[in-house]
Chain A
C-alpha cells in the first residue's frame, strides 16, 4: 500500500504534544511516499482522541483500543506489528520517546525493518527515506538510508520538527480491532511523581543552571550564592542529580523538568540532547563552556568560551 504511518502517543489519558510534530514531519514526506498519510493511536481511550489527530493533510485516523489501562510495551509492539501487516506502509514515523523506545526497536528487529532513532532531519532520495541524526553524541551529523527495506521505522527527536495544528479535519476515523489479550508481560504497579522539594523551577523567570563543569560537590555552594545574588533560581543538569548532589526537582532535561524561563544561563553544561530537550525553548539562552564545540552553543543565543569559576568570580564583583 505504501504511504506513511504515524504512531501518535498518549499518556494517562492525554495526547502528547510530540504527536503533532510527527504529523508535521510526515506531511513533508507525504508526496514522495505514495501520497498517503495515516495516523494511528494505541491507547485504552484511543477513539476519544481521533478528532484531534485528524489534522489537515491526514488521510485516515486509526484507533486501536488496547486492553490495558497503561502503556504496555509488549502489547504496543504486537499492535504495531499488526498495523504494519495490515497497512503495509513504506515509512512508519514514531517519537523517540521513552514509550516508543520500549517497543519500536524490538519490532524493527523481529520484522526486519529499516530503522533509525533520534532522527533530527528527514529527506527522500532514490525512492526511499533518508534520515539525519547526530553521531558521536551530536558532535557530527550522520546521514542514513535504508536500501532494500520495504518498510522503515523512524523515531523522531521531540521538539525538532514543526508541529501541525490539531484537528478536527476531514480525515475519517476507523477503529481497528486487534487480538491483543494475554500479551502483556509487565504489570503496572503505579506512578510516582518526582518529589517537589522546595522549588518549582518551571515557574522561574531566570534560571542559573550548572552542569558537569562544576567538578566537585563543594563548588556548588559558590553557585548557589551567585544565583541568589543574581536573583536567579538554581537548576542543574542530570549528572549532578545522578551523583546525589542535588535533588531531582532541580533537574532540567528530558527526564527532569522542561522549562521556558525568560533567561537561561547555562554554566559548565555541554548540552547533551536530553538536557537541550528541557530548555531549548527558553527566551534567552546564555551558555558558558570551556569547550567551543559544546552542543549547547547550537541552541544558545549568546555564548562565551570561558572558565565558569573565573566568570562566577567576575559576576560576583560585577553584581557588587
Chain B
C-alpha cells in the first residue's frame, strides 16, 4: 500500500490548543536555555585580565576549534574507545538535533510564511534513513560509554579526590557520578523513545517504505499485534514524553553536564596554544597590583570559562605525576574545586541580578572577591605539589590550562610568603648569586678546568654556537661529567663554541614556575643583556629547562634567538659525519623524554635517532614521548624536601623502567634527570640492575676505540 507521497505528519491528530501548549513550552524552554547561557556569561565577566582575542583572529580561532572538534583528535588520545564512543554520540546527537531543526524550520517558518514545504518525497526518505542511522549510532555510543563506566571502570573515572581525606565530606563526589548517569540515561531514553515513536507510527500508518526506516520498522514488527486504540494512546503519550524530554534536555544543557557542549568547545577554540610553555607576563597596567590569582575576580575570563569546560574525563588525573605518587594534587580536582566556588559565588545572583548585570555590565558579588585558597578551598599544599610538567595541559581534550592556573595561584602565594622555607631560601640564593647552588658566580666556568683545551668566552670573541650551560650542568659534580663530555665532543667535531662563564645566570624557567615573576624578569633581563652583547649564530643548551624559557619566554622580554638542544646539535654532527661513530654499542636501553624537551617543545626524535645510530636497542617505556612521566624536579620541587615514606616520581619511573625486559641503561638528556634518577636508582633499590647514562656520555663511549685484543697465549 503506497501513500501518494512519502511524508509523515508533524503534529498527528493535535487539537489546536495542544499545539499552542507545545509552542508555549518550546518558547519557555528557549528562555530557560538563554538564561542558562547568560548566567555563566555574567560569571565570566567577573574575571579580570585577558580579553578575548581580537575580532579578526577570533573567527579563525573558532573555525580552527570547530575543525579540531570535528576531527575528535583530542578526545581519542590515550583512550581509543572513548574517542569512538564520543564520535558516535556527538555526530548522532548533532544529526538528530539538525533533523529537528530542519523539520521545525519547515513547519514553523517556510510553510506558513512562503508556503514552501520540503518534508516529503525523496528528501523525506533520505532524511529518515539518515536519522535512523545516526539514531542507532547514538544509541551504540551511549551504550559503549555506559559499559565503560559500569563494567570497565577505568581508574581515571574515580572521582575521589587526593586533596581531601576520605572522612571529609567533599571527598568522593558521588553527586557528580549521579549527574553523569542521569545525563547518559536521558540521552538513551530520548533516542529510544524516538525509535519507539517511529515504530508506533509505522505500525499504525503502514506507509510501506519501512526499509529506509529500519529502526522504526523493527519496532513496528514488535508492536504489530497491539490494538489500534492502544497504539494511538501510546503514540500520543510517547510524543509528549519524547517531546517534553527533548525540550527539557535542550533547555537544561547549560545547567548540567551537557553544558560541556558549549563550554568545552569554546575552551578548545580559545586556549593559548603555548599554555604552560610560555607563561603570561604581568601586564604593565597591573605592575603595582598583587601578582597572580587569589580570588575568582583575578582569574582571566578564559580561565573562568575553562572551569566550566571540564568533563571529568580524568585524563589529567591519570597523567599527573603528583597524583600518581600519592600527593594531594589532581589537576582535575583543582579545576572542579574552583568551578564549585564560582558556582557558589553566583548563587546569590537571582534572575533579576543576572539580567541586570548582563545589561549594564557590572559585576559584583562577595564570592568573587574572597580568596579561593584555604582548608575548604584549594589547599596550599595542593598548589605546591605541582611539578609544572604540563602533562595535564597537554592531554586535556578540551584545552583547559590547569598548570598555568596553578602557576597564577602560586604567584600570589609567593607574594604572601606562603611558601616552603627551603624554596624561600633557594630563591634568595638565586637572587644573590645568580645560581641555585649558592656558589660564587666566578665558579661557573670551573668545570672547564679539567679539559685539555680552552673553552672560548663567548662574551669576548664571536662564536658559532653560544652554549648556555645551565646551573646543574655547571655546578653539580655528576652533571659536570656530562658537560665535559659534551665539550670534548664539540671540540672533536670542530664546533666553534663558547660559554658565558660568570656572565651566565640561572635562566629562570623554574623560578617562573615557582611563581616569582620579579626574580624571573630580573634573571632574564640580565641574561638577555649579556647574550645580546655576544656574536653568535645560534644558542645551544644542554638543559631543557633553560631551552624552554630561552626559546619560548625570552622573546617576550626582547631576547629572540634560535635555540637548540644539544641532542639536536649532536645528531646534526653525527649525520653530517663531523662526529664519527665507529663502535656500535650493543646496549638495550630505554629513553626518558625530559618534560621540557619532549612534552613542552615536541622534540622526541633526535635522541632516538642518535640511539639508533649508536647501535643501541631502544625499548620504550609504556609512558613515553608526550606521555613521559616527570622525574619530579620541576616547578621548584627539586628544592622542596619530600616526606621520607612517600614514593618519589623518579622512583616510580625507575620501577617502570626495570619492569621492561632486560634493559641495561636508563638514558636521559637533562641534567636534573641525571641528578634525580641517579638518586632514584639507589633509593628504589635498583643499584645493580640498571645504570644511568646521559646521551652525551653514550656517544662519547661509542667514540672511544676498543682496546686492541692481544692474541691468546
Contact = CB atoms under 8 A, between A and B. Distances in A.
Interface of A: 216-218, 221, 243, 307
Contact of A243 (B421, B477, B643): B421
Nearest to A244: B421
A221 B644 contact: yes
Contacts of B421: 243
B641 interface: yes
B170 interface: no
B122 to A, nearest CB: 76
Interface string B418-431: 00011000000000
5 nearest A-B residue pairs (beta carbon)? A218-B641, A216-B641, A217-B641, A221-B644, A218-B644
How many chain B residues sit at the interface, stated as a range, is: under 10
Contacts of B643: 218
Give the most central of A217, A221, A307: most B CB within 10 Å: A217
Given A216-B641, A217-B641, A218-B643, 8 more contacts: A216-B422, A217-B422, A218-B641, A218-B642, A218-B644, A221-B644, A243-B421, A307-B477
11 contacts: A216-B422, A216-B641, A217-B422, A217-B641, A218-B641, A218-B642, A218-B643, A218-B644, A221-B644, A243-B421, A307-B477
Contacts of B641: 216-218
Contacts of A243: 421
A193 to B, nearest CB: 28
Contacts of B642: 218
Interface in B407-427: 421-422
Nearest to A219: B641
Nearest to B641: A218
A98 B144 CA distance: 78
Interface string B541-570: 000000000000000000000000000000
Nearest to A243: B421
Contacts of B477: 307
A220 B247 CA distance: 65
Contacts of B644: 218, 221
B640 to A, nearest CB: 9
Interface string B620-652: 000000000000000000000111100000000
A307 B476 CA distance: 12
Nearest to B643: A218
A311 to B, nearest CB: 13
A221 B646 CA distance: 14
B639 to A, nearest CB: 8
A62 to B, nearest CB: 50
Nearest to A218: B641
A218 B422 CA distance: 11
Contacts of A221: 644
A221 B422 CA distance: 17
A217 B422 CA distance: 9
Contacts of A216: 422, 641
A290 to B, nearest CB: 11
Contacts of B422: 216-217
A111 B477 CA distance: 56
A216 B477 CA distance: 18
A25 to B, nearest CB: 38
Contacts of A307: 477
Interface string B421-443: 11000000000000000000000
B66 to A, nearest CB: 50
A216 B644 CA distance: 12
A224 B477 CA distance: 25
A222 B301 CA distance: 49
B80 to A, nearest CB: 41
B643 to A, nearest CB: 8
Nearest to B477: A307
A269 to B, nearest CB: 17
A243 B422 CA distance: 10
Interface string B280-300: 000000000000000000000
A234 to B, nearest CB: 16
A221 B643 CA distance: 11
B446 to A, nearest CB: 13
Nearest to A307: B477
A243 B477 CA distance: 27
Nearest to B642: A218
B477 to A, nearest CB: 8
A189 to B, nearest CB: 31
A46 to B, nearest CB: 46
A137 B347 CA distance: 62
Nearest to A216: B641
Interface string B576-619: 00000000000000000000000000000000000000000000
A221 B645 CA distance: 11
A243 B420 CA distance: 12
Interface in B490-514: none
A218 B638 CA distance: 12
B149 to A, nearest CB: 41
A271 B642 CA distance: 29
Nearest to B422: A216
A216 B642 CA distance: 10
B442 to A, nearest CB: 15
A260 to B, nearest CB: 33
A218 B641 CA distance: 6
A121 to B, nearest CB: 30
B688 to A, nearest CB: 14
A221 B642 CA distance: 12
Contacts of A218: 641-644
Nearest to B421: A243
A306 to B, nearest CB: 11
Give the most central of B421, B477, B641, B643: most A CB within 10 Å: B641
B636 to A, nearest CB: 13
Interface string B461-498: 00000000000000001000000000000000000000
A83 to B, nearest CB: 46
A238 to B, nearest CB: 16
A293 to B, nearest CB: 13
A166 to B, nearest CB: 47
B534 to A, nearest CB: 32
A292 to B, nearest CB: 14
Nearest to B682: A313
A10 to B, nearest CB: 40
A216 B438 CA distance: 14
Give the most central of A218, A221, A243: most B CB within 10 Å: A218
A218 B421 CA distance: 13
A217 B425 CA distance: 13
Contacts of A217: 422, 641
A95 B477 CA distance: 45
A293 B605 CA distance: 48
A181 B337 CA distance: 67
A211 to B, nearest CB: 15
A217 B643 CA distance: 10
A176 to B, nearest CB: 51
A130 to B, nearest CB: 34
A243 B421 CA distance: 9
B426 to A, nearest CB: 10
A32 to B, nearest CB: 44
B365 to A, nearest CB: 41
A218 B644 CA distance: 7
A193 B642 CA distance: 33
A243 B641 CA distance: 14
A217 B642 CA distance: 9
A201 B297 CA distance: 56
A221 B421 CA distance: 18
B428 to A, nearest CB: 14
B509 to A, nearest CB: 21
A21 to B, nearest CB: 37
A241 to B, nearest CB: 14
A225 B10 CA distance: 83
A315 to B, nearest CB: 16
B189 to A, nearest CB: 56
A60 B53 CA distance: 91
B709 to A, nearest CB: 34
